[in-house]
Amino acid sequence: MSAPIPPAPPAAPKRLPVLLRRAWYGLNQSFRQRIAHLGVTPDQFSILRWLSEGDPQGLTQRALTDLMASDPNTITSTLSRMEKAGLLARHAHEQDRRAHRVKLQPAGWRAFEKARAVAMELQDQVLATLPASRRAKFLEELEAIAEACGTALENAGPKARR
């Protein structure tokens, strides 16, 4: 008589933070490698994208900070590197002396267009793991999750955001 086969261990529970982090990290690193030859980083691409989609007069650094969900010092440093590379220019805001408008330069547009093609190809590759009929719904649901995370942050209060 043989020994009984032990039961399979229970499957590890699915955890939202772990899955989101793993997905973001893999996507970010893959994108970073694919656009390295363009001389831009994923964060710089995001800034280029926001600028290309925003006000033709340019976006303020504060608006970019909010859109990027980042801190002002990081955005300022990133913008300085991008300005030195000729990708964008910062100009004094026409109404607020403390603010600057950030606007794409021709080199920024060229870099954006090349990186955007890579981004779209990578997105198509990743989303191909889902049936075509579920992709749009998945993105809608992911957007709802992102909004719920933003709401959770807003509801956490000032002490939790330090």
- Could you read off the pLDDT of 109-148 as tens digits, one per residue? 999 999 999 999 999 999 999 999 999 999 999 999 999 9
| Residue 117 domain-assigned (yes or no) | yes
pTM of the full predicted structure?
0.82
Whether residue 161 is predicted with pLDDT greater than 70 in this model: the reply is no
H/E run at residue 92 = strand 88-92
| Residue 5 domain-assigned (yes or no) | no
| Residue 30 domain-assigned (yes or no) | no
Domain containing residue 141: 39-150
Whether residue 153 is predicted with pLDDT greater than 90 in this model: the reply is no
- What CATH number should be reported for the domain holding residue 80? 1.10.10.10
| Residue 157 domain-assigned (yes or no) | no
How many structural domains compose the chain?
A: 1
- Could you read off the pLDDT of 44-103 as tens digits, one per residue? 999 999 999 998 889 999 899 999 988 999 999 999 999 999 999 998 878 877 878 899
DSSP structure string for 101-146: EEEE-HHHHHHHHHHHHHHHHHHHHHHTTS-HHHHHHHHHHHHHHH
| Residue 63 domain-assigned (yes or no) | yes
| Residue 56 domain-assigned (yes or no) | yes
